[in-house]
Structure 1
Amino acid sequence: MGQAQPFRATALIVEDDHMQREMLCVLLEESGYDVIQCESAEAAERVLEKNARALCLMLTDVQLAGRMNGVELAHLAKGHNPKLDVVVTSGRPLMQPLPDGAKFWAKPWAPLDVLREAEIAQLS
């Protein structure tokens, strides 16, 4: 008889900048997360359609390649899973309203911010 696997929280990282995406993934993996990474909102939309309820945290940039931006993706994500911890980041002022419960982080943010948010999301 096999042993039960401990629960590992899952995060969705949506960032078209390869270096930022990799840094976020490493930080979260070292915090005990399983990480799904996407370059575009359209790729993230497919993940959300199949796995939104299994996610604890989504971090997305506002500016993404493709037809949808990170704010639109945040609304879509909250529609699929209202309890999902959503963080939207940008180096520019936010021009669209976020869905209820989503957070905005101005770039540059500190890696410690990511670790703190990961802890909050796991407790939710």
Structure 2
Amino acid sequence: MGQSKPHRPTAIVVEDDDIQREMLALFLEDNNFEVLQCEDAETAALALKAKHPSLVVTDVNLVGKMDGVDLAHYAREHGSDARIIVISGNPLPRPLPPGAKFFTKPVYPTVLLREAAQQ
């Protein structure tokens, strides 16, 4: 009989910069998250429906028709109770949905992890 693997929460990291996306993903994986990486909000929206993550970390500026703020609203409108963290080097273009958090870049890993753990 095999041992079952301990449950790891799922996180979706949405960032169009490959290096930043990989760094965020590696940090979260090192802190016991299963991570799905997406470079655009449209792909992340599909992942939200399929994987029901406990955490979404998204940049504001993304390739495609949706930005990170749109993705945060999409997640809430479609019933996701995931913790949503939106990051950008610029001010937010419009308000976030209730419960979503905004951090300016650079985001320190300890701050990100502390916010992610507040489930």
TM-score (norm 1): 0.90
For structure 1, the 5+ residue unaligned runs are: none
Tell me which stretches of 4 or more aligned residues in structure 1 moved more than 6 Å: none
Residue 40 of structure 1 contacts residue 64 of structure 1 at CA under 8 Å; is this kept in 2?
yes
Q: Read off the aligned partner of 1:24 and give its amino acid letter.
A: L
Superposition map of 1:37-76 within 5 A? 37-52=37-52, 55-76=53-74
Percent identity over the alignment is 50
- Cα distance, 1:82 vs structure 2: 4.0
The alignment yields a C-alpha RMSD, in angstroms, of: 1.2
- Aligned match for 1:92, one of 86, 90, 93: 90
**What is the alpha-carbon distance in structure 1 between the residues aligned to residue 107 and residue 65 of structure 2?**
26
**What is the alpha-carbon distance in structure 2 between the residues aligned to residue 11 and residue 49 of structure 1?**
13
For structure 2, the 5+ residue unaligned runs are: none
Residue 10 of structure 1 contacts residue 34 of structure 1 at CA under 8 Å; is this kept in 2?
yes
Greater helix fraction, Structure 1 or Structure 2: 1
**What is the alpha-carbon distance in structure 2 between the residues aligned to residue 42 and residue 21 of structure 1?**
16
Residue 11 of structure 1 contacts residue 33 of structure 1 at CA under 8 Å; is this kept in 2?
yes
Match of residue 28 from structure 2 = 28
**What is the alpha-carbon distance in structure 1 between the residues aligned to residue 113 and residue 20 of structure 2?**
15
**What is the alpha-carbon distance in structure 1 between the residues aligned to residue 79 and residue 37 of structure 2?**
18
Match of residue 116 from structure 1 = 114
- Cα distance, 1:78 vs structure 2: 1.7
Match of residue 4 from structure 2 = 4
Q: What SS does structure 1 have at the residue aligned with 2:117?
A: helix
TM-score (norm 2): 0.93
- Cα distance, 1:67 vs structure 2: 0.4
Residue 61 of structure 2 contacts residue 88 of structure 2 at CA under 8 Å; is this kept in 1?
yes
CA offsets per residue over residues 38-58 of structure 1, 9 Å max, x none?
000011011112222xx1100
CA offsets per residue over residues 48-106 of structure 1, 9 Å max, x none?
12222xx1100000000000000000011122344210000111111211000000001
